[in-house]
Structure 1
Amino acid sequence: MKLLFVGTNPENTGAASHFVALAQAMAAAGHQVGAVVYPDGLIWQGLSQSEVRRYGARFRNVFDLRGYVAVIKAARQLKPDWLVGNFGKEYWPLILIGRLLRIPVALFRHRTPPMKRISAWLIPRLAQRFLAVSQHARQAYLDRGVPGSLVRVLYNPVNTAQCRRDPRQRRAILHSLGLDEDAIVLGYSGRMHRGKGIFPLFEAASAAMAEQPRLHCLWLGDGPDAPALRALAAADVTAGRHHFLGWINDIHPYYSALSMLAFPSIATETFGRVSVEAQAAGVPVLGSDLGGIPETLQTGVTGLLLPPGDVAAWREAILKLCDPALLASMGAAAHDYVEQHFSMRVIASRFLQILTGG
C-alpha cells in the first residue's frame, strides 16, 4: 500500500511523535510511505533515518495555497492509496485534496476539546476514516454527537528497539548525576505545568525520600511552572535528590536510568505516550487514574493507577515500588505488555486492517 502522510507542524508534540512513529511503522511493514512535513523541523528530523520519503512544505493554515500545491505535487509523484493527516489545520485541506484527486483520507484526532461546530459535524463524516488515539478520546467524540460507527481507535505505536534498556547508558547517566548504581530513580518526563501534577508528585517523592535514602527523582522537561518547582526543590531538605535536566529532545536513553516513571497528571490526558515508552524499556509506571492514562498500562502488573493529586497515595506507591523484586517483575511484564499491544508491528497491522475495512 502507498501512504502519503501530511503534517507540517514544526513543534515537538505528542501528535508529532505519533506521526513519526506511525509513518516509520508502516514503512517498516513494507508499505511505500511519503510524508509532507515542515523542512528541517522535528518531524523531518525524526524521519531522517527511516525509509519514508520526505517532501518539504509549510502549511500555515487552511487557506495556504502553497501548502495545497505541495501536497498535490507529492500525491501526483507517489500516487498514494491514502492521505493521512494528524493535525487540525490540515483536516480541511486534505479532505478537499482527497476529493480533487479521488484519494481517500484518514484523519487522526489527538485532542478532546471540541472543534468548531461545523468542522466537528462535517470532518468525521467527510473523511473516509476518522481515528481517535484512545477509547477515552473516542467516547468524548461520541458524547458530542459523532456516530460511533465513524470513530475507530488506533493507539500510538512505539519503536521498542529505540526504547531498549541499556545497562551501560544507565551507569553513564547515574555517574553524570553523581549517583551510585544502586540508586532508585523515580522519573518524570514532560511539560511542567500544574495540570501535569508535578507539585503533588514533588510532595509525594520528597515524603518517600524521608523513608528511602536511595530514592532520587529525575525531572526531564520544561514549562511555565518549572521555575516554581525548582525553587520549591531548592528550599527543601531533599534538594540534592531532585535532579532537573531541562527539556530533552531525545529522552529514550534516559529510560535506562529510571527505576520507575511517574505520570501524575491532574488534568485529563488523551493518552500517554511516555507511559508506553517507559514500559517498553522495562520501567514500571505510576499513573493517574483519569483520561486515557489507564489504557497505557496494566494496573497491578506493569504499574499502578492512583488517585490524581493524592499525595499520600502516591507516596505509598513510590515506596512500594522501591522493592527490587517488585520492580523486576513489573518491569519484565511491562516490556512484554508493550510488545503485545503498542509495538510498531502490532499497530501497523491494525492500521492496515482499519484502512482496508477491518
Structure 2
Amino acid sequence: MKFLFVGTNPENTGAATHFVALGQALVEAGHQVSAVVYPDGLIANALARAGVRLYPAKFRNVFDLRGYRATFKAARELKPDWLVGNFGKEYWPLILVSRLLGVPVALFRHRTPPMGRASGYLVPRLAQRFFAVSANARQAYVERGVPQQLVRVLYNPVNMQECRPDTERRNAILHRLGIPQDAIVLGYFGRIHHSKGILTLLEALDGAMAQEPRLHCIWLGHGPDVQQLGERIDAGSFAHRHHMLGWIDDVHPYYSAISMLAFPSIATETFGRVSVEAQAAGAPVLGSNIGGVPETLSPNVTGLLLPPGNAAAWRNAILKMCEVQMREPMGVAARDFVDRHFSTRVIADEFVRILSDG
C-alpha cells in the first residue's frame, strides 16, 4: 500500500513517537510511506532515517492555509491509498483533502479528554477509519456517543531491535553513573509530574532501599515537579542511590540498564508506550492498575499491577521484584509478550488488515 502520513507537531510527545513508529513499521513491512511534517523537527528527522519521503509543512492550527496547500499538493502528487493523521489540529484538513481527492483517511486519537462537540460527533463519522490506541480509550469514546463499530483499536508498535537487551550498554551506563555492576536498578522514564505518581514511587523506594542495599533508581525525564522531586531526594537517606538524568532524546539504551521499570501514574493513562518498550528490553514492569496501563503487560507474568498511590504496596512489589527468581523469568516472558502483541511486524500487519476490511 501507499501511505501519506500528515503530522506537523514539532514536539516529542507520545503521539509523535507513535506516528514515527507506525511509519517505520509500514516501511519495514514493504509499504511506501511519505509524510507531511514540520521541517527539521524530531518527527522529520526520525522518519528521514527510515527512508520516508518528506514534505515540509506547518499547521499552526486548523485554519492555516499553508498546511492545506502542502498536504493537498503532496496527496495529489503521490496518489496514496490512504491518508493517515495523528494530531487533532490536522483532523479537519485531512478530512477535507480526503473529500476533495477521493482518498480515504485514517485518524488516530491519543487522548481521552473530549473533543469539541461538533468534532467529537463528526470526526469519527467522516473518517473512513478512526483509531483508539487502547481498549480503555475506545471505551471512553463509545461512552461519549461514538458508535462502537466506528472505533478500532491499534496499539503502539515497538521496534524490537531498538529495544533489545544489551549487556555491554548496561555495563557502560552503570559505570558512567557510578552504579555498581551488581546493582538492582529501577527505572522511571517519563514526565516528572505529580500526576505520574512520582512522589508515591519515591516514598516506596525509600522504604525498599532501607531493606535492599543494592537497589538504585534512574529517573529519566523532565517536567514541572523536577525541583520538588530533587529536593525530596536530597532530603532523604538514599540520595546517592538516585540518579536524575533529565531529558534524554533516545531512551532506548537505558532500557538495557534497568532491572525493572516503574509506571506509577495516579491519573488515567491512555496507554503506556514506556511499559511496552521496557518489556521489549527484558525488563519487567510495575504498573498502576489504571486506564490503559493494564493492556501493556501480562499481570503476574511480565510484571505486576498495583493500586495507584499506595506507597506500601509499591514498596512491597519493588522488594519482591528485587528477588532474582521473580524478576528474571518475568523479563524473559516480557520480551516474548511484546514480540507477539506490539512488535512493528504485528502492528503493521494489523493496521493493513483493518484498512483492507471493508
CA distance in 2, matches of 1:179, 1:250: 20
What's the offset of the Cα at 1:56? 0.8
Q: Counterparts in 2 of 1:263-342, with a 5 A limit? A: 263-342=263-342
What's the offset of the Cα at 1:51? 2.3
CA distance in 1, matches of 2:181, 2:325: 16
CA distance in 1, matches of 2:46, 2:194: 29
Residue equivalent to 1:125: 125
Q: Deviations over 1:212-263 (max 9, x none)?
A: 0000011001100010000000010111111100011100000000000000
Residue equivalent to 2:87: 87
Percent identical residues = 70
What's the offset of the Cα at 1:48? 2.2
SS of match in other structure, 1:191: coil
Paired positions, count: 358
Q: Deviations over 1:16-58 (max 9, x none)?
A: 0000000010111011100111011110111121121111111
CA distance in 2, matches of 1:243, 1:206: 14
Residue equivalent to 1:141: 141
Of 201-210 and 70-79, the range deviating more from structure 2: 70-79
Amino acid at match of 2:170: R
CA distance in 1, matches of 2:324, 2:98: 54
- For the pair 1:191 / 2:205, whether they are aligned, the reply is no
Q: Counterparts in 2 of 1:46-195, with a 5 A limit? A: 46-195=46-195
CA distance in 1, matches of 2:62, 2:315: 47
CA distance in 2, matches of 1:311, 1:43: 37
- For the pair 1:41 / 2:48, whether they are aligned, the reply is no
CA distance in 2, matches of 1:325, 1:258: 16
Q: Under a length normalisation based on structure 1, what TM-score does the superposition of the two structures give?
A: 0.99
Q: Deviations over 1:286-305 (max 9, x none)?
A: 00000000000000000000
Q: CA RMSD in A?
A: 0.7
Residue equivalent to 1:201: 201
What's the offset of the Cα at 1:133? 0.2
CA distance in 2, matches of 1:179, 1:88: 43
SS of match in other structure, 1:47: helix
Q: Deviations over 1:50-87 (max 9, x none)?
A: 12111111111111111011011111221100000000
Residue equivalent to 1:3: 3
Residue equivalent to 2:344: 344
Amino acid at match of 1:82: W
Q: Deviations over 1:171-221 (max 9, x none)?
A: 011001111111000000000111000000000011100000000011001
CA distance in 2, matches of 1:12, 1:49: 16
Residue equivalent to 1:229: 229
CA distance in 1, matches of 2:163, 2:331: 13
- For the pair 1:18 / 2:18, whether they are aligned, the reply is yes
Residue equivalent to 1:253: 253
Residue segments in structure 1 that go unaligned for 5+ positions in a row: none
CA distance in 2, matches of 1:78, 1:285: 42
Amino acid at match of 2:258: L
Residue segments in structure 2 that go unaligned for 5+ positions in a row: none
SS of match in other structure, 2:114: coil
CA distance in 1, matches of 2:47, 2:165: 22
Q: Deviations over 1:142-187 (max 9, x none)?
A: 0000000100000000011000111011001100111111100000
CA distance in 1, matches of 2:199, 2:45: 33
Amino acid at match of 2:111: R
SS of match in other structure, 1:48: helix
SS of match in other structure, 1:210: helix
Residue equivalent to 1:28: 28
Q: Deviations over 1:80-108 (max 9, x none)?
A: 00000000000000000000011000000
Q: Under a length normalisation based on structure 2, what TM-score does the superposition of the two structures give?
A: 0.99
